[in-house]
Amino acid sequence: MAERSRKHDSLIYLSGYGVALVLTLIPFGAVAFGWFSFTVTIWLIAVCAVAQVVTHLIAFLHLDRSSQLEDLLLVLFTLLIIGMVLGGGLWVIFDLNARMATGVPG
């Protein structure tokens, strides 16, 4: 029984690795080889990033469809951290852009 569980876990890890690799190579190829327009490439990168987060949560953190409180808190915390990183980064970038464009001393 333990051998079957070990094989099942190995299969999940390998399939998760394969999906994560494909979700990395698709945006890389789109940017490196210019397959799509700029707007489509940006959307492709965003969609692949979200799909990769979901893949990691399912394949490597073993989150399933069960409604356990710990799983919900983990997903909410992940969304909070992603929102803080993106929001803070955009805030800094736009603030620097406004300061440089108007010549306001910092």
Structure tokens at 77: 């915390």
Q: Answer yes or no: pTM beyond 0.85.
A: no
Residue type, 21: L
Residue numbers in the chain where pLDDT is lower than 70 = 1-2, 64-67, 102-106
Angle between helices 38-59 and 2-33 (to 10 degrees): 170
Cβ neighbours around 26 below 10 Å, total: 16
* Residue range 67-80, pLDDT digits in tens: 677 777 877 888 89
